[in-house]
Amino acid sequence: MTFQEILEKYVVYAPHRDIHLGGLRIGPHTVVSPGARIDITGNVRIGEYCMIGEGTQILTHDHYHEGREPLLLLQKEKGVKWQDKVIEDDVWLHGCIVLYQVTHIPKGTVIGAGAVLTKNPDVEYGIWGGNPATLIGMR
């Protein structure tokens, strides 16, 4: 099975393709584990020499949560929010969750196992961990 076939069968999914369907671009020398999940409701661009570990989830959509209306009715009326993500070169996502709010992960960033990234990391080569993830060191 080719790398592209593995991605399409086990990793990439588009839960709201009826609302918006993005795409996935992956740079050379990047490794994506079959146990990762990449939502392509929005576009995802992953740079060179990245490692996307098993259990990593990259989410490009979120739901509307305003008011007291049932959330499924709100989704039927408004759809979902979606956005694109850019993951620069030499990033290691180690079994973590990258939430909708995150749009950019800088070069050399490491996100530790079990971390939940809720905001854009603001430094290159930072090491992030925890829930929510915070800067815990530098490479």
HEC sequence for 19-34: CCCCCEEECCCCEECC
User: Token pair of 73, please?
Assistant: 């009715």
Identity at 90, one-letter amino acid code: D
Residue-averaged pLDDT of the chain: 94
Per-residue pLDDT band for 8 (boundaries 50, 70, 90) equals confident
In the prediction, which pLDDT does 66 show? 85
**Cα–Cα distance, 110 to 51 (Å, whole number):** 9
The CATH number of the structural domain formed by 3-138 is 2.160.10.10
In the prediction, which pLDDT does 110 show? 98
pLDDT of 3 > 80? The answer is no
Per-residue pLDDT band for 2 (boundaries 50, 70, 90) equals confident
HEC sequence for 14-81: CCCCCCCCCCEEECCCCEECCCCEEECCCCEEECCCCEECCCCEECCEECCCCCCCCHHHHHHHHCCE
In the prediction, which pLDDT does 84 show? 97
pLDDT of 94 > 90? The answer is yes
**Separation in Å, CA 15 to CA 40, 53, 56, 104:** 8, 21, 17, 22
Per-residue pLDDT band for 30 (boundaries 50, 70, 90) equals very high
Q: Is 11 helix (H, G, I), strand (E, B) or coil?
A: helix
53-74 pLDDT, tens digit per residue, is 999 999 999 998 888 989 889 8
pLDDT of 4 > 80? The answer is no
Per-residue pLDDT band for 138 (boundaries 50, 70, 90) equals very high
Residue ranges covered by each domain of the chain:
3-138
